[in-house]
Amino acid sequence: MAPSDTDTAGVFLELEAHYAAHNYHPLPVVLTRGQGAHVFDVEGRRYLDCLSAYSALNQGHGHPRIVAALIEQAQRLALTSRAFHNDRFGPYCRKLCERVGYAKVLLMNTGAEAVETAIKAARRHGYRRKGVAKDRAEIVVFAGNFHGRTTTIVGFSSDPESRDEFGPFAPGFVTVPYGDLAATARAMNPNTVAVLVEPIQGEAGVVIPPEGFLPGLRELCDRHGALLLCDEIQSGMGRAGAWLCHRDSGIRADGVILGKALSGGLYPLSAFAADDAVMEVFTPGSHGSTYGGNPLACAVGEAALDVLADEDLCTRSRELGARVAARLRAIRTSRIHEVRARGLWVGLQLTDSAGPARVYCERLLQQGILCKDTHGHTIRIAPPLVVEERDLEEAAAALERVLAE
């Protein structure tokens, strides 16, 4: 089929519909270029990106420092496998350890792989340190969680769309309501090796747990000799206003899972970080990945961390986030049920009578604002942290218009 001038986007939509599995339901916009907080479609229209690839792009599209690191390293050495050492791996691991405050990291590629790494670490740690009987380890997880798409992980999802007809699933996970400490306490027993939690549930719609929940989990884990594992793939790296969101609750997890903005959107890079007592369960041959810890990922990851630090994006996230939240809370409409916000991360939950959030996202698209609905009734707003305040005001004004009665 020949491209036509009149419907440039249509050609791409058709190709995709024809040749690609239909495992997503994107908004009808075909992007071709991005810079900072903005993206451009194939017809030249400019949009404010209020999704940031699910917070992988906290540093903005095509950050020049990260792009330069990528190009330089790609021309020098991209992949060695871990069968050999490379000169980017050690320095990057040190930088990441120092940044997040753990003794060691294990690098993988996608977020789901890092979650799998944490699960393996917790199980082995439980067998070796806690003396749990073989194959009896249990991990407590929370309803509404999103930890990725592998069969083990979707097995403990509570979202039917994610799990239906993908079983049989791995045993060893116990689900309790998010934010419910009493239920968590009841779910824990001598076989519990870990509690796996998102400090804020991103995919569920920026759901913030009650005050005291994370400290309560810390106490329960200490009492039961279980590891507290925080999935900071979306909440970390500045999105919620801190390097690690859970530290704002005055606690320290035994292990954290990182991904997404760890590479500023330039390369798949994820990590599990923990102290030696946990990480020492991994011995040669027990875990790995062909691309994990490759020099290209390390070069990109190093630049991505430097950008977050040098541009003080955590502070920017907190300051801009507070202003946006206040602006959105001031919108007069009966269609908003609740505005949840932490850092530059907003879940705007609509009332049931407002209809599906997707309809509003489609209208926002017409106004040059790219947002993605999550779980039916919530519009998530998570622009790159480098966004300008005037762009946020434009987004808020557009939201006000599309939500007007």
| Strand order across the beta sheet in which 173-176 lies | 104-108, 270-274, 255-258, 227-231, 192-197, 138-142, 173-176
> Which residues, listed in sequence order, are joined to residue 231 by a DSSP beta bridge?
257
Torsions phi, psi of 194, nearest 5? -160, 160
Q: Catalytic one among 41, 49, 231, 254?
A: 231
Q: Is 142 in the site for ligand PLP (CB under 6 A)?
A: no
146 binds ligand PLP (CB under 6 A): yes
Taking alpha carbons only, the member of 237, 281, 227 closest to residue 258 is: 237
374 touching ligand PLP, by CB under 6 A: no
Q: Does 247 bind ligand PLP (CB under 6 A)?
A: no
Instruction: Check residue 205 for interaction with ligand PLP (CB under 6 A).
Output: no
Dist. CA 320–CA 330, nearest whole Å: 16
From the candidates 260, 272, 282, 391, give the one annotated as an active-site residue: 260
Among 112, 137, 188, 341, binds ligand PLP (CB under 6 A): 112
Is residue 110 near ligand PLP by the rule CB under 6 A?
A: yes
Which residues on adjacent β-strands are paired with residue 338?
349
Distance of CA 235 to the CA centre of its chain: 6
Cβ within 8 Å of residue 236, ≥6 positions away: 242, 243, 244, 245, 256, 258, 261
Q: Is 117 in the site for ligand PLP (CB under 6 A)?
A: no
260 catalytic per annotation: yes
Interaction between residue 196 and ligand PLP (CB under 6 A): no
233 binds ligand PLP (CB under 6 A): yes
Identity of the residue, 248 or 394, whose beta carbon is nearer to ligand PLP in the bound complex: 248
Candidate segments 1-9, 179-187, 229-237, 395-403, binder of ligand PLP by CB under 6 A: 229-237
The region of 145-153, 169-177, 215-223, 391-399 touching ligand PLP under the rule CB under 6 A is 145-153
Distances in Å between the alpha carbon of 277 and those of 60, 121, 133?
Answer: 36, 10, 19
| Residue 141: its H or E element | strand 138-142
* Candidate list 36, 205, 255, 259; residue touching ligand PLP; CB under 6 A: 259
Considering the complex, state which of residue 52 and residue 402 has its C-beta at the smaller distance from ligand PLP: 52
Q: Is 76 in a helix, a strand, or coil?
A: helix
Q: Does 291 bind ligand PLP (CB under 6 A)?
A: no
| Segment contacting ligand PLP by CB under 6 A, of 104-112, 133-141, 162-170, 380-388 | 104-112
115 binds ligand PLP (CB under 6 A): yes
By CB under 6 A, the count of residues binding ligand PLP is 16
* Range in contact with ligand PLP (rule: CB under 6 A) among 7-15, 91-99, 227-235, 246-254: 227-235
3-state secondary structure 326-349: HHHHCCCCCCEEEEEECCCCEEEE
Asked if 202 is part of the footprint of ligand PLP (rule: CB under 6 A), the reply reads yes
When binding is defined by CB under 6 A, the residue of 34, 36, 60, 111 that contacts ligand PLP is 111
CA distance 135 to 242: 37
Please identify, using beta-carbon distances, which residue of 146 and 272 lies nearer to ligand PLP: 146
270 and 244 Cβ atoms separated by less than 8 Å? no
Element (DSSP H or E) covering residue 300: helix 295-310
Per CB under 6 A, does 230 bind ligand PLP? no
Enter the DSSP assignment of 210: P
Q: Is 372 in the site for ligand PLP (CB under 6 A)?
A: no
**21 vs 83, beta carbon nearer ligand PLP:** 21
Strands 346-350 and 336-341, by their bridges, are antiparallel
Closest CB 235 distance from ligand PLP, rounded Å: 7
Shorter beta-carbon distance to ligand PLP: residue 41 or 203 = 203
Q: Which residue has the tokens 């810890």?
A: 293
Q: Judged by CB under 6 A, does residue 116 bind ligand PLP?
A: no
Could you give the angle at which helices 64-76 and 295-310 cross, rounded to 10 degrees? 160
| Contact positions vs ligand PLP (CB under 6 A) | 54, 110-112, 115, 146-148, 198, 202-203, 231, 233-234, 259-260
Which residues are tagged catalytic? 146, 231, 260
